[in-house]
Structure 1
Amino acid sequence: MFDSAAPVLNASLRAKCTAVGRELTPVMVIDDCLADPGSLVEFAALTKRNVEHQIETLHPVFKKESGSFYPGRRCPLPESFGLVLLQQLAPLLCNGFARGRDVQFEPLVANLSLADVKREHLRPIQSLPHFDDVRSDQLALVLYLFNGDLGGTGFYRHISTGFERITRPRLAEYAPKLKAEAMAHREILGRYMGRENALFAPTNYVEPAFNRAVIYPSNCLHSGVLNNAVDYSLCANGGRLTANMLILCNEV
């Protein structure tokens, strides 16, 4: 049985770090990441499929987050999940992101996330690439826990500014410009972000694969590239389920 508080990395995982875009943003992809990812999917489910009613149920603490732009529901993982996972990931993260610095990695947030918003109900900001924080000392991790063509992760350059990462000094220029551009290009709204559009050019795309993790600086422009032909539904064993973490990089 999977212990959600003590995840174990797969001994045969495969990790690759690539410099992406003009700004050479490091993006790490880890295949076969966890030793027992299927049991993490089971942790998300309150029960298995109800045979009589042919429905699936979720852990009861999956809910919409107020103030969050994530197009779905989230369930917090135990605090120890992030701590234990990062202890094991630390050598890979140091090689890929520390660049010779002595760094300790601290989990800020760890959730299970399930996309369930129909494209026509998206808010304008949910149709565009985003960044998680302007900090340069923070990473984001996404672990795919689904099969099928439900969407990977895209990385982007904002065409008019050339920005691929949004820092605090850049935000004052970027935010009002993007708002004006989005109002002038309303045709790109009301749908999930694709590989590119009139405002953003692609720098990289990571295909989804079960038990594949993607790690990147949280201030880079990115988006889940969800399939606009899919009616995303709220079911743990058939939907776009991911594990997500925000990671603080503390220099010591």
Structure 2
Amino acid sequence: MAQQQPSVQVHHLGTEKEPLVVIDGFSGRAEALLEAGYRADYRPGGASYPGIRALADPGYLDLRRELMMQVMAQIFGVKRGIRCEASTYSLVTLAERELSPLQRIPHYDHSGEDLIAVMHYLLPPDSGGTAFYRHRRTGFEAITPEREDAYGAATTEDLREFGEPPARYHFGDDERYEMIGAVEARVDRLILYRGRQLHSGIIPAPDQLSDNPRDGRLTINMFLFGT
């Protein structure tokens, strides 16, 4: 039986029209990827990530090499090759009371336009997707190198005016941020967006988070650079 081809949608978010690419049925190997994730060796994800991570082999992207190259060239302007900077299984595990102030607000991964973030969902919609935001005080939806200082100063002003953000996983609108788009998790759905976009994971049931990959919010995250 021939493998079903992925379906691709391209969205442009907010007023700045940053692209979000959604590919459903990306690999055809979601169960095998999950099994590998169950066996992986997890470690703390670092100061910015509210959970644990393990190395994930990015080689399965070659199954859709032609598609990936088309997306990277036509949507993100990458004309030559792709370098995978990081590829990890990721499990959000922190209870909301344990979140640092920076983990309670949307974030960006890298201010350069050449870093493309990848989120590969392996679980159904109730595991939670990803939301994208506009910072109200500045109007910024993407944080470029030229905007970093102004954004940092504005978030300091937010802290002065509003106090520390509440101890919760951010979702929706508040006095600091306005949600400009969201994508739900689906089994074998892969999304791509520039790492400079303000975004946050959607965590619908924080009290049910688990550090057991068989029970937790297991995804694969990658950072790709054009070469």
So what's the TM-score if we normalise by structure 2?
0.91
Q: Which residue of 2 aligns with 1:76?
A: 55
What is the SS of the residue equivalent to 2:152? helix
Gaps of 5+ in 2: none
- Whether the aligned pair in 1 keeps the contact of 2:53 and 2:88 (CA below 8 Å) is yes
Q: Does 1:167 align with 2:144?
A: yes
Q: Does 1:124 align with 2:104?
A: no
AA at the equivalent of 2:120: L
Q: Does 1:193 align with 2:170?
A: yes
Q: 1:87 aligns with which of 65, 70, 80?
A: 65
- Whether the aligned pair in 1 keeps the contact of 2:87 and 2:221 (CA below 8 Å) is yes
Distance 1:86 1:105, change over 3 A: farther
- Whether the aligned pair in 2 keeps the contact of 1:161 and 1:174 (CA below 8 Å) is yes
Q: 1:27 aligns with which of 5, 16, 20?
A: 20
What does the per-residue CA deviation read over 1:41-63, in whole Å, with 9 as the maximum and x for residues that have no partner?
100113xxxxxxxxxxxx3x211
How many pairs are equivalent? 224
The within-5 A match list for 1:1-252 is: 11-46=4-39, 59=40, 61-66=41-46, 68-78=47-57, 80=59, 84=62, 87-88=65-66, 89-98=68-77, 102-186=79-163, 188-250=165-227
What value does the CA root-mean-square deviation take over the aligned residues? Answer: 1.9
What is the SS of the residue equivalent to 1:103? coil
What is the SS of the residue equivalent to 1:198? coil
- Whether the aligned pair in 1 keeps the contact of 2:27 and 2:64 (CA below 8 Å) is no
Distance 1:162 1:34, change over 3 A: same
Mapped partners of 2:29, 2:193: distance in 1: 23
Mapped partners of 1:232, 1:182: distance in 2: 28
What is the SS of the residue equivalent to 2:76? helix
What does the per-residue CA deviation read over 1:162-185, in whole Å, with 9 as the maximum and x for residues that have no partner?
101101110111012213313533
AA at the equivalent of 2:42: F
AA at the equivalent of 2:213: A
What is the SS of the residue equivalent to 2:143? coil
